[in-house]
Amino acid sequence: MIRNIVVGISGGVDSAVAAFLLKNKGFKIIGAFMKNWDIKDETGKCTVENDYEDARWVCDKLKIPLVQVDFVKEYWNEVFSDLLEKYQTGYTPNPDVLCNKNIKFDRFFHFARNKLQADAIATGHYAKTSFGPYLENYRADIGVHLLQAYDKDKDQTLFLSQVSQQTLKCCMFPLGNYLKNHVKTIAKEAGLHRIVQKKESMGICFVGKREFQHFISEYIHDKPGDYIDLESGLTIGKHNGIHKLTIGQKCKIAGRYKPFFVFEKNRETNIILVVEGTTHPALYTDFLITQDIHWINKEPCELRSGNGVFHCNFRFQHRKPLIPCSVYKTSNDSLFIRLSAPLRAITKGQYAVLYSGEECLGGSVISCPGPSYFTLGRQNCRRNIDEIRQDNFTVSTSSITSSI
């Protein structure tokens, strides 16, 4: 029988409402605050202290105990060090995915189960599982499936795409069937007014929102190099390091009044190739290769033989619309993914996350974007890209409107 639940309390409204709903269901609750970062920002503040005070206030209000667990060392070694290494090699990592995999749903999970004798953990993530929001369908002898949240604009399954099957079996996501606006209403009705208006956490997981280029320079030395225009081959400016920019990002180039965007970063030459205009065909591709695939439940049967094609949906950025794709598996377990439409700024180091219907199947690290539409010389590619951008905007707007 599942009775004792440890809830990750961050000091925000989502985890607070998750704890409130669980308590109302009659579970025995312990709140746990994870301290994963203890370095002050550029203003001399450390947001962890304020977040802990908010977490303590929430637990006092809900009349549940709160413990603090320190994962600062583990976060540095297993998440932040990887982030620094990836940026130095020209990749753009997703620390939120890695934090969930290594800290929240591994270190924290085992702490809760072993030290606090929890039957399960719960978080304020917007996601669902086939076992239900309160594990009402739990069975130890069958696998669990990760499902998209009811609020598609808040769905966080992309960030959970690397969580292990063993952990997911004992995870509760009480907010999976709620809209964000409804969660705020519940918080107000529960007397949690202090945190309802609190800004959502942004930026690097647990580090918080920072001025990224200044922040990353504290850990990686600047290494100036040239901006080179892809089409003309001319040097048009200087940058301070490839670690400060990512694919598709707008560049600040002195003396240039038209906007240029990052197309490619070369670690060996320290050159950044740029293109003019945010919809330049060089920024778009409909093909990519990935590695280190993690299937949450089971590998699709179409891929097990190595000769089949698996048709599903794809996403590599949170809140972006899902698009159809075809997946092929190679002999070395890499995935070739062909998209039904070109996407902008597919970037090495990000996660390609696959979906079938409402289910998040898992994800793998993008190791190589395919040739761009500029390289392939696609006919009418600018017109097609503009149409796709408009379609994506319409889909995103529709999903937001339906959530209000």
Annotated catalytic residue 205: yes
Instruction: Please identify which of the residues 59, 170, 171, 205 carries the catalytic annotation.
Output: 205
Q: Are 23 and 64 in contact (CB under 8 A)?
A: yes
Q: Is the pTM of this model over 0.85?
A: yes
Query: Is residue 210 within 8 Å of residue 204, measured between CB atoms?
Result: yes
Kindly state the tokens that stand for 251. 């560049």
In tens digits, the chain (404 residues) has pLDDT values of: 789 999 999 999 999 999 999 999 999 999 999 998 876 554 455 578 889 999 999 999 999 999 999 999 999 999 999 999 999 888 999 999 999 999 999 999 999 999 999 999 999 999 999 999 999 999 999 999 999 999 999 999 999 999 999 999 999 999 999 999 999 999 999 999 999 988 776 545 545 455 667 778 888 889 999 999 999 999 999 999 999 999 999 998 988 889 999 999 999 999 999 999 999 999 999 999 999 999 999 999 999 877 789 999 999 999 899 999 999 999 888 999 999 999 999 999 999 999 999 999 999 999 999 999 998 885 455 555 555 445 444 433 333 233 32
- Annotated catalytic residue 251: no
The residue whose two tokens read 């997946």 is: 327
CA 382 to mean position of chain CA atoms: 29
Q: For residue 296, which of 172, 147, 163 has the smallest C-alpha distance?
A: 163
The active-site residue, picked from 99, 170, 171, 381, is 99
Q: How many CA atoms lie within 13 A of 150 on its CB side?
A: 15
